Amino acid sequence: MTEDWKADLRNALTGGSAPKASNIVSLSDFLKNTVVPAYQQIDAELRKHGRDVKTRVSDASASLTVIYNGTEELIYRVHGRVFPHGVLPYAEIRFRERNGLRLISVEQMIRSGKPDYRLADITVRDVINHFLSEYTKRTVSS
């Protein structure tokens, strides 16, 4: 924010809340160039450990489903969330709890803290690290 809070407010209100086309394209490029390569590396490693992996990608999201012994372990889906300075990725994680009796969904930003970074700042390694953290927390220790 600048010292001129009235101008900041005016810009925020006149800019609209709908994502700009350039942000949607950026999200699509991010999914294709960062998330998909991360998913490919994760897929290869999980298959070495007897997991089946399914991926789906669109312009607005990319999901990776992990299946073990015919049972869905976890779905990890990356979407975009609109902030005043642009679109940032967040993960929706769906997993089973209590021996598969409860289905839980949570959402998290891929990076924690203040969202003062750009979409281009998120790396393949960031996506892999976030997935690994959530996968081991949500499934391996269950």
DSSP string, the chain: --S-HHHHHHHHHHS-SSPPHHHHHHHHHHIIIIIHHHHHHHHHHHHHTTEEEEEEE-SS-EEEEEEETTEEEEEEEEEEEEETTEEEEEEEEEEEETTTTEEEEEEEESS-S---S-GGG--HHHHHHHHHHHHIIIIIT-
- Is 4 a member of any domain? no
State the pTM of this model: 0.79
**Predicted pLDDT at 25:** 47
- pLDDT tens over the chain, length 142 residues: 556 787 767 776 776 444 455 444 489 999 999 999 999 999 999 999 999 999 999 999 999 999 999 989 999 999 998 877 788 899 999 998 867 678 899 999 998 877 778 888 899 999 999 999 999 998 865 4
The pLDDT value recorded for residue 54 is 98
User: How many domains does one find in the chain?
Assistant: 1
pLDDT of 56 reads 97
Whether 94 is covered by a domain: the verdict is yes
Domain, as residue range, for 89:
23-140
Q: Is 3 among the domain residues? A: no
Domain for residue 60, yes or no?
yes
